[in-house]
Amino acid sequence: MLTTLSKKLCNREISAYELTKNYLEKADKLGAYLFKNVAALETAKRVDERLAKGEVLHPLAGIPIAVKDNIVTKDIPTTCASRTLENYIPPYDATVITKLKAAGLPILGKTNMDEFGMGSTGENSAFYPTKNPRDNTCVPGGSSSGSAAAVAGGLAPVALGSDTGGSCRLPAAFCGIVGFKPSYGAVSRYGLIAFASSLDQIGILSKTVSDAGLIFDVISGRDPRDMTSIDISENTEYTPKIKRFEDIEDALFDLALPAYYIISSAEASSNLARYDGVYYGSDGLFGDEVRRRIELGNFVLSAENIGEYYNKASSVRAALCRKMDELFANCDFIVMPTAPDEIPKLCQLANGSEMYEKDRFTMLANLAYLPAITLPSGVTIMAQRGRDKALLSYAREVEANGI
Amino acid sequence: MVYEAVIGLEVHAELNTKTKMYCACKNAFGGEINTRICPVCTGLPGTLPQLNREALDKAILAGRAMNCTIATKTRQYRKHYRYPDLPKGYQISQLSIPLCMDGHFDYFCGDTLKRAYIRQIHIEEDAGKLIHNGESTYVDYNRCGVPLIEIVTDPCFHSSDEAYSFLEAVRTMLLDIGISDCRMEEGSLRADVNVSLRKAGESKLSARVEMKNLATFNGARRAIDFEIARQRELLDRGETVVPITMRWDDEAGKSIFMRDKESAADYRFMPEPDIPPLKIECSSTPLPESEAERRCRLLRGLPSPQAKEIAKNLKLCEYFDSVSHIGEKVCANFLLGTVANLTNETGIPVWESYLTANKFCAIITKINSGEINTDGGKILMEKLFTADIGVEETIDKLNLKVCRDRSDYLSVVHFVLVNNEKAVNDYKAGKGNAIGFLVGQCMRSMSRGADANLFREILEEVLECL
């Protein structure tokens, strides 16, 4: 879709200004956006002017993009859908935003999400819930609920999300679009408001795999400001040798979900320690789910409990990584379901372990630092860390022809 | 009951890197508040640490200077606690696998060489500063993120003198290897102490009391003495020492209870996920000798007070080493006498003066050969310290050459003998000291360019004949 838009913009069939204006006009629908960025029209106008002069711009210049509200945007409110950051306007841009601006993509606005990334349904925003455009009675999935709904509902051609345990891929599956989580480190986390630092990655919600690949090319790359960022492999060769998840089921995977929640809560309790009321709102303004995770995190890191919980979870994680290395030594890709069962209805899931179960498959990729992509059919494909480009290639194949 | 004091120290030193530990803000002292800050060091949401390699290299130098094992891989940890000067709600520090471990550091306590055992040295970031103004408190984040090393010793000191001497030696070491400006009044060097008492001869450690907020080395000494006395009193009364943390009030001369160890905050240490484990390549840049090493070496040729004085300052010792082949004792005498006075007067150290090592040596050589006398040497040093002039030309200009014309000497001798009858009679009466007086009188009459020994010789000859 982006390629088509790009051609039309270059041929001056449509203007970036009109394109951006149309999206902005629809932005109030579905509870997808928390902030509409009217200044995007200026960016779009400038792209049109430069194209009129015959300048050769980045192929994606003028294509508007929606950004999840946990990615820092200079002078534009960034709230993580939390009352704590209700009035927070960052003084700097995330690295990915700097890259998008340099390529000339107007930032349409900031999308709704589960508060601080904690939630799998999109019902944990402190402000208002997001609707699933595919089925109004169902949840859109979370935590990148707004980004997924916006792309699925035609309110943005493409969107950035973030993925800590499945937060791009689950809503992509629920809304029927593509959700891509790059390898850990492939995209700079500088400017991504941290939930769980060793699990978070900025991801992409899009209509097609090719679109995800185009945006990935803009935002990926090692960043000196992010010491965990890596260079990914340029190698796009694969046989393909596929393994299905049912065939590799292992008792280890049963330990992975509790390990994921222990590690992510521990890191969340640490990352949210700064909301003490001095600079911005205090932790008195957190929602219940956030509070729950922080308490869990404090518990598993406490001196009496760290051995039993956090350290054990770290060992499980290390074992899981070794297991995935073994598997990928003998295959290119692993195919698996995204969600364990039906898309939940609105208000169906209570918070807590019932909801946590939804991440059962998706969080494996986060724990093991792997790239993973979800297709509109609901299937997820994973690859070895660093093989993002090969994964995107194969995913394009599967999108067109099935597995 | 005889007790043995057991003392351990934790020394924090700010590194003199160009920028802060995890961001590009300038590392400096003072200035307007909140002007050297950025999103990273103020812990704004979304920011990440970017390690300052210069800080790592300087910390490694400290580890090498203290004979530590330098880790090949080291990990950062988050240490969580809540305080307004700590914007992230945690400090990035180290826990297991610190940068440097298991070292030792030799230092002099009085005239005795002692060995301190270093448990570890690790890197961490400093917090901001709270400014109290009447009812309100403000935070200045300029200091937030400044690189620190923390030197943790074993409980290997047994007196406040030892602790004080060690702190002085550490300060000298940090200045010598050039990694900190060690200004305690600016907070770039701080110490916490741990003090416990046990019955003399026992090997087990007893409950220890931690003292914080020691702003000067003398304050540390006083705090330790106070605490030893306080604990001795308790133990003599049959009470037990409770492990607590105290704050030292130097003005009041006593310690104030801060918190007990049981209710001490659980820091919930967690490996820092934003910084991968660091692979360390240990440099092999040559390090200067430590102060103790210099002093031991100098003691082979100099008396203890002189060895101590020269060893104290690396640059002075280097200067001494470049001239001492001429004669250690004579060089030491001049450096610590005439030259030290010149430095006091002018504020210029000898290695920054015009008195180069070559000129210094030339002057001493001429004194040794008798070409000029000691007073002449002193005058030469004074002149050549503050002006870029030559030795020979100044000797000529000021007529400093010792003359040894016997007839000149004889005239002076006769003049002095005539005017000092009492001394002559004393000498004749057998008072040997009188000749010294007479030599002095002769020298005064011909102070420049006079040879005291020659005067003595001639005086003795003449007096014989009287």
- Residues of chain A with Cβ-Cβ distance to B139 below 8 Å are 278
Is A286 touching B (CB cutoff 8 A)? no
Cα four-point dihedral sign A158, A161, A165, A171: negative
- Residue B114: what are its φ and ψ, rounded to 5°? -130, 160
Residue B89 in contact with partner chain A when CB distance is under 8 A: yes
On chain B, the residues whose CB falls within 8 A of the CB of A226 are 48, 274
pLDDT score at A3: 95
B424: enclosing H helix or E strand: helix B421-428
Q: What is the spatial distance between Cα B205 and Cα B208, in angstroms, rounded to a whole number?
A: 8
CA A78 remoteness from chain centre: 16
Q: Please, are residues A161 and A177 in contact by the beta-carbon 8 Å criterion?
A: no
Catalytic site includes residue A314: no
Tell me the nearest-neighbour CA distance from A10 into chain B, angstroms: 35
Task: Give the number of other Cβ atoms within 10 Å of residue A345's Cβ.
Answer: 13
Question: Taking CB atoms and an 8 Å limit, are B46 and A90 in contact across chains?
Answer: yes
The pLDDT tens digits of the residues spanning B96-105 come to 889 999 999 9
Chain B nearest C-alpha distance from A190 (Å): 6
Q: How many CB pairs lie under 8 A apart between chains A and B?
A: 92
Span B167-182, average pLDDT = 96
Put simply, the answer to whether B45 touches A274 (Cβ < 8 Å) is: yes
Q: Which chain A residues are closer than 8 Å to B39 by Cβ?
A: 90-92
Please tell me which of the candidates A224, A279, A298 has its beta carbon nearest to residue B50. A224
Above 90 in pLDDT, residue B187?
Answer: no
Asked if B54 contacts B18 with a C-beta cutoff of 8 angstroms, the reply is yes
> Do residue A228 and residue B90 have CB atoms under 8 angstroms apart?
no
- Report percent pLDDT > 70 for chain A: 100
Q: Does B265 touch chain A (CB under 8 A)?
A: no
Nearest Cα residue in chain A from B271: A267
Q: What is the dihedral of CA B235, B239, B243, B245, to 10 degrees?
A: -80
Q: What is the pLDDT of residue B262?
A: 67
**H/E run at residue B189:** strand B189-199
> In chain B, which residue's Cα lies nearest the Cα of A202?
B46
Return the residue of B nearest to A92 by Cα. B39
pLDDT for the residue A296: 95
pLDDT digits (tens, 9 = 90+) for B28-65: 998 899 999 999 999 999 999 999 999 999 999 999 99
Check A72 against B46: CB less than 8 A apart.
Answer: yes
Of the candidates B449, B402, B374, B423, the residue with the CA atom closest to the CA atom of residue B462: B423
State the CB neighbour count (10 A cutoff) for residue A250: 12
**Minimum CA–CA partner of A225 in chain B:** B50
Is there a contact between B274 and A78 if contact means CB atoms under 8 Å apart?
no
pLDDT of residue B303: 96
What interface predicted TM-score (ipTM) does this complex get? 0.95
Q: At A45, which helix (H) or strand (E)?
A: helix A40-52
Mean pLDDT of B380-400: 93
Entry field: residues in chain A: 403
The separation between CA A317 and the C-alpha centre of its own chain, rounded to angstroms, equals: 21
Phi, psi of B3 (to 5 degrees): -115, 155
Residue B303: cis peptide before it, omega within 30 degrees of 0:
no
Cβ-based contacts of B48 with chain A (< 8 Å): 189-190, 225-228
Query: Among A51-65, A382-396, B433-447, which is the least confidently predicted range?
Result: B433-447
End-to-end C-alpha distance for chain B, whole angstroms: 73
Place of tokens 């090592």: B357
- Give helix then strand counts, H and E, for chain B: 15, 16
- The verdict on A345 touching B (C-beta cutoff 8 Å) is no
Does residue B461 sit at the A interface (CB-CB below 8 Å)? no
Least Cα separation, residue A25 to chain B (angstroms): 30
User: Which tops the pLDDT comparison, B384 or B407?
Assistant: B384
Query: CB–CB of B444/B420 below 8 Å?
Result: no
Q: How many CB atoms lie within 10 A of CB A149?
A: 33
Sequence-distant (≥ 6) Cβ neighbours of residue A362 within 8 angstroms: A163, A165, A166, A169, A170, A338, A339, A372, A380
Q: A120, A167, A220, A229: which is the annotated catalytic residue?
A: A167
Query: Quick check: A92 and B88 CB within 8 A?
Result: no
Which token pair is A224?
Answer: 């000196």
- Name chain B contacts of A385, Cβ cutoff 8 Å: none
From the list A143, A220, A264, A265, the catalytic residue is: A143
pLDDT higher for B459 or A352? B459
| A124 pLDDT more than 70 | yes
Is the predicted pLDDT of residue A342 greater than 80, yes or no? yes
pLDDT band at residue B375 under the 50/70/90 scheme = confident
**A156 CA to chain B: closest CA distance, Å?**
24
Are A190 and B47 an interchain contact pair (Cβ–Cβ within 8 Å)?
yes
Which residue on chain B is closest to A301 by alpha carbon?
Answer: B268
Q: Is A96 on the interface with B (CB under 8 A)?
A: no
- Range scoring the smallest mean pLDDT among A122-136, B98-112, B179-193, B382-396: B179-193
Contact B274 A227 (CB under 8 A): yes
Q: Taking CB atoms and an 8 Å limit, are A94 and B46 in contact across chains?
A: yes
Report CB contact under 8 Å: B45, A78.
yes
Sequence-ordered strand ranges (E) for A13-59: 33-36
Decide: residue A341, CB within 10 A, 0-12 exposed, 13-18 middle, 19+ buried.
exposed
**What digits encode the pLDDT tens for the residues A76-106?**
999 999 999 999 999 999 999 999 999 999 9
A279 chain-B contacts, CB cut-off 8 A: 42-44, 87
Q: State how far the alpha carbon of A303 is from the alpha carbons of B96, B197, B269, in Å.
A: 15, 28, 8
CB pair distance less than 8 Å for A226 and B48:
yes
Name which of A17-21, A50-54, A115-119, B414-418 the model is least confident about: B414-418
What is residue A227's predicted lDDT score, i.e. its pLDDT?
98
Residue B316 confidence class, pLDDT cut points 50, 70, 90: very high
- Please choose, from the candidates A162, A217, A163, A233, the residue with its C-alpha nearest in 3D space to the C-alpha of residue A3: A217
CA distance B314 to B331: 16
Torsion angle, CA of B436/B441/B442/B444, rounded to 10 degrees? 120
- Mark yes or no for CB contact A190/B46 under 8 Å: yes
Whether chain B has a CB inside 8 Å of the CB on A192: the answer is yes
Amino acid at B31: G
**Exposure string (b/e) for B171-206, b if CB count within 10 Å is 16 or more?**
bbbbbbbebbebebeeebbbbbbbbbbbeeeeeeeb
Contacts of A387 (CB under 8 A, 6+ apart): A183, A232, A233, A235, A332, A371
φ/ψ (deg, to 5) at B153: -95, 160
Q: Across the interface, which of B45, B78, B275 has its CB nearest the CB of A227?
A: B275
Interchain CB contact of A202 with B (< 8 Å): no
- Does the annotation mark A143 as catalytic? yes
**Assigned token pair, A53:** 């002069």
Count the alpha carbons within 13 Å of B246 in the hemisphere toward its beta carbon. Answer: 26
Please tell me which residue, B205 or B209, carries the higher pLDDT value.
B209
Positive or negative: CA dihedral B232, B234, B237, B242: negative
Beta pairing class for A107-111 and A65-68: parallel
How would DSSP label each residue in B434-448? HHHHHHHHHHHHT-T
**C-alpha distance from residue B99 to each of B73, B93, B144, B208, B282 (Å):** 8, 11, 21, 26, 11
Segment B308-325 shows an average pLDDT of: 96
Check CB contact under 8 Å for A227 and B51.
yes
A125 is known as an active-site residue: no
pLDDT at B154 over 70: yes
Backbone φ and ψ of A107, nearest 5°: -90, 110
Chain B: give the shortest CA distance to residue A4, in Å. Answer: 34
Residues in B closer than 8 angstroms to A270, CB to CB, are 78, 80, 89-90, 268, 270
For the beta carbon of residue A350, count every other beta carbon within 10 angstroms: 8
For residue A366, what pLDDT is reported?
97
| Size of chain B in residues | 466
Which residues of chain A lie closer than 8 angstroms to B91, CB-CB? none
Asked if the model's pLDDT at residue B447 lies above 60, the reply is no
CA distances from A285 to A10, A32, A268 (A): 47, 22, 16
| Rounded Cα distance, A201 and A194, in Å | 10
pLDDT of residue B426: 87
pLDDT > 80? residue A134: yes
pLDDT over 90 (residue B222):
yes
Mean pLDDT of B371-396: 93
Query: In the prediction, which pLDDT does B79 show?
Result: 96
Is the confidence at residue B445, as pLDDT, over 90? no
Which among A15, A68, A110, A147 is annotated as catalytic? Answer: A68
- Per mean pLDDT, which range of A170-179, A310-319, B441-450 is the poorest? B441-450
Q: Where are the beta strands (DSSP E) in A93-236?
A: 107-111, 158-163, 178-181, 201-206
**Alpha helices, DSSP H only, in B33-102?**
53-65
Judged by a CB distance cut-off of 8 A, whether residue A67 touches chain B is no
The C-alpha angle B424, B427, B432, rounded to 5 degrees, equals 145
Q: Is A116 near chain B, with CB under 8 Å? A: no
| B34 and chain A in contact, CB less than 8 A | no
Q: Are the CB atoms for B144 and B37 separated by under 8 Å?
A: yes
